[in-house]
Amino acid sequence: MTATILQGKEVAKSIREELAIEVAELKKQGIVPGLTVVLVGDDPASHSYVRGKSKGCEEVGIHSELILKEASTTEEELLAIIHELNENPNVHGILVQLPLPAHISEKAVIAAIHPEKDVDGFHPISVGNMVLGNETMLPCTPHGVIELIKRTGTDIAGKHAVVIGRSNIVGKPVSLLLQQENATVTMCHSRTQNLEEHTRRADILVVATGRAHMIGKEHVKPGAVVIDVGVNRIETGKLVGDVKFDEVKEVASFLTPVPGGVGPMTITMLLKNTVVAARKQAQL
């Protein structure tokens, strides 16, 4: 068996085309979805991510603004900016790019964003609603993972899913979303013993550890859907995932590449959340 490669950029392109049509319809009703990104400091990776978000907004017709602040910006100054954005009716989505400088509390900043404008899906109210299964803003990467699995034609209901990694950003939320799709979910992490015994039973394997090439073909059940969320830069400068791609593609039925797999879906789900937020705030 050779896996079908799940090109996230192709799925993302299809979703963005659908969003562009939706945004055009909203504009006919006088509603221009707006996203404001706040970037504090000069982290090169953060600047790269922000450029991708701005390009995505332009592609689907979302109005985007970028607020750049120096690393010396105080927490009080940043919270004041968020308050202004919360009150601005033309701003439907607010995203504060992480990580923040060490002197600023990420928890305080995330909590300050109005839940209706929390297009990252990180606010405690958004997370609580997700846990309860209520309609809410879903975190972008986990949402993108679920969309990718669905686009394979896989019926998630009744499948055994194994998630490796328990971060608040990916591992925990993706396990919850899989449960809401009626999968039976096993969560593994750095202290899981006999990891291979768990992963070999997975119909769906989601790997989000941030450890390059930790999952080989011996970990994968033949025919499994494998989603590699990891992005790691190795000594040669090449970007690789948590999965040994060349090995696992000979065993899995579907496999995401790195780069080009989950990454494009993350920004696309951010765009989708912004459009959803605009609709809700316009009470449509």
d(C-alpha 90, C-alpha 86), whole Å: 10
d(C-alpha 98, C-alpha 140), whole Å: 14
Q: Partners of 39 in the beta sheet?
A: 68
Return the SS3 of 54.
helix
DSSP 178: H
Structural domains in the chain plus CATH codes: 30-115 (3.40.50.10860), 138-261 (3.40.50.720)
CA 252 to chain centre: 23
Residues listed for the chain: 284
pLDDT, position 284: 78
**Biggest CA-to-CA distance, the chain:** 57
Rounded alpha-carbon distances, angstroms, from residue 127 to 172, 180, 191, 192, 239: 10, 14, 25, 25, 30
d(C-alpha 191, C-alpha 217), whole Å: 21
Contact between 205 and 227 (Cβ < 8 Å) = yes
Contact between 227 and 207 (Cβ < 8 Å) = yes
Q: Residues marked as binding?
A: 165-167, 231
Q: Dihedral sign, CA of 177, 178, 183, 185?
A: negative
**Residues belonging to the active site:** 53, 97, 120
d(C-alpha 14, C-alpha 22), whole Å: 13
- Long-range CB contacts (within 8 A, 24+) of 129-134: 130/173, 130/176, 130/177, 131/176, 133/180
Contact between 71 and 101 (Cβ < 8 Å) = yes
Contact between 272 and 15 (Cβ < 8 Å) = yes
d(C-alpha 148, C-alpha 174), whole Å: 12
pLDDT, position 46: 86
pLDDT, position 45: 80
Question: How would you write the pLDDT of the chain (284 residues) with one tens digit per residue?
Answer: 799 999 999 999 999 999 999 999 999 999 999 999 999 998 888 888 889 999 999 999 999 999 999 999 999 999 999 999 999 999 999 999 999 999 999 999 999 999 999 999 999 999 999 999 999 999 999 999 999 999 999 999 999 999 999 999 999 999 999 999 999 999 999 999 999 999 999 999 999 999 999 999 999 999 999 999 999 989 898 999 999 999 999 999 999 999 999 999 999 999 999 999 999 999 97
pLDDT, position 251: 97
Neighbours of 186 (CB within 10 A): 16
Rounded alpha-carbon distances, angstroms, from residue 67 to 59, 95, 155: 20, 10, 42
d(C-alpha 217, C-alpha 247), whole Å: 6
Q: Residues marked as binding for NADP(+)?
A: 165-167, 231
Angle, helices 140-151 vs 8-28, to 10°: value is: 110
pLDDT, position 273: 98
Query: Among 50, 76, 78, which residue's Cα sits nearest to residue 65?
Result: 50
Query: Among 228, 242, 263, 234, which residue's Cα sits nearest to residue 3?
Result: 228
How much is the pTM? 0.93
pLDDT, position 155: 96
